[in-house]
Homo-oligomer: A and B are copies of this chain.
């Protein structure tokens, strides 16, 4: 027999044979009595159930019944997140416990709280164990504990939240409900009881990421909620057991780089005692283009002018918040404090990877870290482009490389799958010495520009043929011996050096065509010559012979190009004329900036000496099909 109060329902499977209404129900050995309550209780144990049989009780679904022989009650509990990525924490999303990429995907998103709400005594917020300002909550993901049930839970039952040790190193959780947002879960507290508020209630929690995805962290963090049942009053000392667990999963947002085709926001350069000419050129260009120029003064840069090399700008994005994040290079020149001291701040994040000094080489400067515009390769879409880094040649048994911790970090972000190019053939060893991308109105929306000694020789031979063999490079430059076109073309050894350079660039051209899905018509060869210098280990490595025009700054349709000081024909530099001719077809305007003494002679150019903070992609990374 089964008797119960009105809001308790029961059924018996398989259905028993028909009997008179009041007679006991005959059951076979496999009968199951299924008890359910359609509505949450108002009080603990407000409903009654009396049964008399050998039984199994089967608990169903997310709203579990608490059974106590005669007293039953129903509490509905769900731990909720924004699993559909619309910046609203929906109720009990069936997919909240897993994560799937793509526009049809699901799963909540967490930001590494790597900005600093405070401007003074600053520190990435994730390193604090408290919420320093209410504005910091904007950088966290809301998690809601929704309950609907009796005023209080039956005696001894309690709710706990828990996180694994591994996950707790990558994320932590604050309670909104209680004043001052105390920490609920962290690597020091893996499990904590949370209050049950009776009736229909919502309690907000705020979750922040602590670490970016990396080689040892796939980016996923789970948080669990359990309803614990007290065991037996008869038998003391028994552990509590969970009778219901809910789980939510977050993915920590990756760090995303911004290619030259995205709109600039701010341009950063260093001011030094000797770069007035360069600064003036940059200021004109940036102002004309309509962007902001930020100058890092000498008391900060201490003579280190290589703004490109110390840091890379990127951003992190979620349905609820987005801000730029600077990746600080392990290069650590005299600009080393600039990213932390000058950039980190409210809604400006900071991340770095620390390498041992001995493992850091010139290839760790971020002139050696670039990103392509969006591409499609053999049907596979890369709507956020692909990261490009320079390493030693694959056949090389020794050689310089980008340090492992930075490479691991870049690969682990996943959304801009990196490509390794060969840059160790260059003395400085940065990929920005032989390649860049510029926007284009047609085709794939951009062109790849490559330095090309062959194009250089072609141009110089043409000049010679047209009777300009005596035109001089480097004219009017202080401390620089001019050299004629005839002179350049007369040295077989110099030609051999440039053939070698061309073969190195050709190798990269093949890789870029294959990995970015480019055709020949997507590539423009720029006339640039190199020379080889022998190093102490007797290896020859290349440097640009005249200012390396490919090492430019791209600001929308305006290009800031190292002034090449090439041979003049009818009063106009033939290299500038060629450059303008190549770029004009794409609707791009060339501004040549004199960086000869202050950058070129120090083995860098315009791009090496600047950095551009750009707008993020409109495309959302979580919509990537992986």
Contacts and interface: CB of A to CB of B under 8 A. Distances in A.
Nearest to A226: B395
A98 to B, nearest CB: 10
Interface in A219-254: 224, 226, 228-229, 231-232, 234-235, 237-239, 241-243, 245
Interface string A141-171: 0000000000000000000101010000000
Contact of A226 (B54, B234, B394): B394
A20 interface: no
B395 A496 contact: no
Interface in A317-339: none
Contacts of A1: none
Contacts of A507: 241-242
A587 interface: no
Nearest to A247: B394
Contact of A497 (B235, B243, B394): B235
A242 B162 contact: no
B231 A503 contact: yes
Given A191-B395, A229-B503, A520-B58, A532 B238 contact: yes
Contacts of A238: 496-497, 500, 532, 540
B234 A492 contact: yes
A490 interface: no
B500 A232 contact: yes
A577 to B, nearest CB: 13
Contact of A160 (B239, B395, B499): B395
A434 to B, nearest CB: 14
A499 B534 CA distance: 80
Contacts of A19: none
Contacts of A243: 503, 506
Contacts of A226: 394-395
A231 B395 contact: no
Nearest to A54: B458
Contacts of A54: 458, 461-462
Nearest to A161: B395
Interface of A is mostly: mixed
B237 A534 contact: yes
A216 interface: yes
A619 interface: no
A190 B397 contact: yes
A56 interface: yes
Contacts of A191: 395-397
A57 to B, nearest CB: 9
Interface in A459-514: 461-462, 492-493, 495-497, 499-500, 503-504, 506-507
A454 interface: yes
A370 to B, nearest CB: 22
A110 to B, nearest CB: 20
A58 B504 CA distance: 15
A454 to B, nearest CB: 6
A431 to B, nearest CB: 17
A119 interface: no
A534 B226 CA distance: 25
A503 to B, nearest CB: 4
A570 interface: no
A6 to B, nearest CB: 28
B397 A234 contact: no
A506 B241 CA distance: 10
A162 B399 CA distance: 14
A241 B394 contact: no
Contacts of A497: 232, 235, 238
Give the 3 A-B residue pairs with the shortest CB-CB distance, closest first. Answer: A232-B496, A235-B496, A241-B503
17 contacts: A54-B461, A54-B462, A162-B394, A191-B395, A215-B216, A226-B395, A229-B503, A231-B496, A234-B493, A234-B495, A234-B496, A235-B496, A238-B496, A238-B497, A238-B532, A238-B540, A241-B507
Given A54-B462, A191-B395, 15 more contacts: A58-B520, A160-B395, A162-B395, A190-B397, A229-B503, A232-B497, A232-B499, A232-B500, A234-B492, A235-B492, A235-B496, A237-B534, A238-B496, A239-B500, A243-B506
Interface of A: 54, 56, 58-59, 160, 162, 164, 190-191, 215-216, 224, 226, 228-229, 231-232, 234-235, 237-239, 241-243, 245, 393-397, 425, 454, 458, 461-462, 492-493, 495-497, 499-500, 503-504, 506-507, 520, 532, 534, 538-540
